[in-house]
């Protein structure tokens, strides 16, 4: 600054010069790069979704949704529904109980340990969970099954449900607990009749999000429920069940143009299901958060 020895001229317009101009430029460029990064992410999303929609729409028809192979994918949809449904039925209670333990019972050290446990579980590669369930259930019985796949998915869902539930439990106002305590209500009664009901919206949201995640998981199901024929509807979870992600994977491994069309159709159906679940749960979460923090 001091090297500019120009006399002060009040008629000059107030513009940045020299170093300041350079700093402004740097700042402008940095902001531009950040905007470009965000735009790139959105662009990738649009490109992928567009590819799935534009190719998938050709496969979609009433028969495609309601019939079995070779015309349609109904058995795959039903199978995915059953596997994910059973997995969620197993995972939801365990996840909610772990969240309750974290927010209501665990001390500082205990909650840190369980939190770490949940983080590690959440970060486990899903192929390892698949290998684990294969060794534990499929190898000894020499039989793949939808039930075993559901158990594998439940291991993926538990940490998701636990974390989502815990976040909402932490939003339940302390005043509610204190009011219950002041009235002499026992801890377990206040948890079951006051805290859980007011967190219900968040619990449902977390569960829906975990369903969306589980519905698209391929690796756990691939080793455990992959030998099936998708020509008729199958409902028995003790048998391997046809399912959407594994079907897409198998079709993508075969170099067959008709198979590719079917795989695009399957992808479109799967993405629509997942996005609807995601958007629905987000709306639900906003509503219940507003209720809790009002």
152 contacts 127 by C-beta, under 8 angstroms: no
259 contacts 251 by C-beta, under 8 angstroms: yes
Of residues 257-276, those binding other proteins (CB under 8 A) = 260, 263-264, 267, 270-271, 274-275
Of the candidate residues 65, 117, 200, 238, the single one contacting other proteins (CB under 8 A) = 117
Of residues 153-192, those binding other proteins (CB under 8 A) = 155, 158-159, 186-189, 191-192
Nearest approach, Cβ of 134 to other proteins (angstroms)?
8
Q: What's the rounded Cα separation, in Å, for the pair 72 and 65? A: 6
Nearest approach, Cβ of 119 to other proteins (angstroms)?
6
Q: What's the rounded Cα separation, in Å, for the pair 154 and 277? A: 18
Nearest approach, Cβ of 17 to other proteins (angstroms)?
15
Nearest approach, Cβ of 155 to other proteins (angstroms)?
6
83 contacts 247 by C-beta, under 8 angstroms: no
Stretch of residues binding other proteins (CB under 8 A), selected from 81-89, 198-206, 230-238, 242-250: 242-250
Of the candidate residues 53, 60, 94, 194, the single one contacting other proteins (CB under 8 A) = 94
What track of x and - describes contact with other proteins for positions 53 through 92 (by CB under 8 A)? ----------------------------------------
102 contacts 166 by C-beta, under 8 angstroms: yes
Stretch of residues binding other proteins (CB under 8 A), selected from 66-74, 167-175, 219-227, 232-240: 219-227
Q: What's the rounded Cα separation, in Å, for the pair 130 and 155? A: 10
**Nearer to other proteins (CB atom), residue 207 or residue 267:** 267
Of the candidate residues 60, 106, 194, 272, the single one contacting other proteins (CB under 8 A) = 106
Question: How many residues in the shown chain lie near other proteins by CB under 8 A?
Answer: 84
176 contacts 189 by C-beta, under 8 angstroms: no
Neighbours of 65 (CB within 10 A): 13
User: Is residue 219 near other proteins by the rule CB under 8 A?
Assistant: yes
Nearest approach, Cβ of 230 to other proteins (angstroms)?
16
Nearest approach, Cβ of 251 to other proteins (angstroms)?
8
Stretch of residues binding other proteins (CB under 8 A), selected from 2-10, 45-53, 73-81, 171-179: 45-53
Nearest approach, Cβ of 16 to other proteins (angstroms)?
10
**Nearer to other proteins (CB atom), residue 27 or residue 141:** 27
């Amino acid at each position: 600054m001091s090297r500019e020895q120009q006399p002060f001229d009040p008629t000059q317009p107030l513009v940045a010069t020299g170093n300041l101009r350079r700093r402004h430029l740097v700042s402008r460029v940095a902001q531009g790069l950040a905007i470009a990064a965000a735009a790139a992410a959105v662009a990738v999303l649009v490109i992928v979704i567009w590819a799935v929609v534009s190719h998938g729409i050709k496969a979609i028809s009433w028969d495609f949704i309601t019939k079995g192979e070779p015309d349609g994918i109904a058995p795959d949809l039903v199978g995915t529904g059953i596997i994910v449904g059973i997995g969620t039925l197993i995972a939801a209670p365990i996840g909610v109980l772990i969240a309750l333990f974290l927010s209501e019972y665990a001390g500082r050290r205990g909650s840190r340990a369980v939190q770490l446990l949940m983080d590690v579980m959440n970060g486990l590669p899903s192929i390892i969970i698949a290998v684990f369930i294969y060794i534990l259930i499929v190898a000894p019985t020499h039989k793949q099954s939808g039930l075993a796949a559901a158990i594998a998915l439940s291991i993926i869902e538990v940490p998701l449900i636990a974390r989502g539930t815990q976040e909402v439990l932490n939003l339940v106002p302390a005043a509610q607990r204190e009011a219950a305590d002041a009235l002499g209500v026992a801890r377990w009664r206040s948890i079951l009749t006051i805290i859980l009901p007011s967190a219900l919206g968040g619990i449902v949201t977390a569960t829906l999000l975990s369903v969306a995640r589980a519905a698209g998981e391929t690796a756990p199901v691939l080793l455990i429920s992959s030998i099936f024929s998708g020509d008729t509807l199958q409902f028995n979870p003790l048998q391997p069940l046809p399912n959407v992600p594994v079907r897409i994977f198998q079709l993508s491994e075969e170099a067959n143009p008709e198979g590719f069309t079917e795989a695009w159709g399957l992808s479109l159906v799967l993405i629509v299901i997942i996005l609807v679940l995601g958007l629905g749960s987000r709306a639900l979460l906003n509503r219940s958060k507003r209720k809790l923090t009002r």
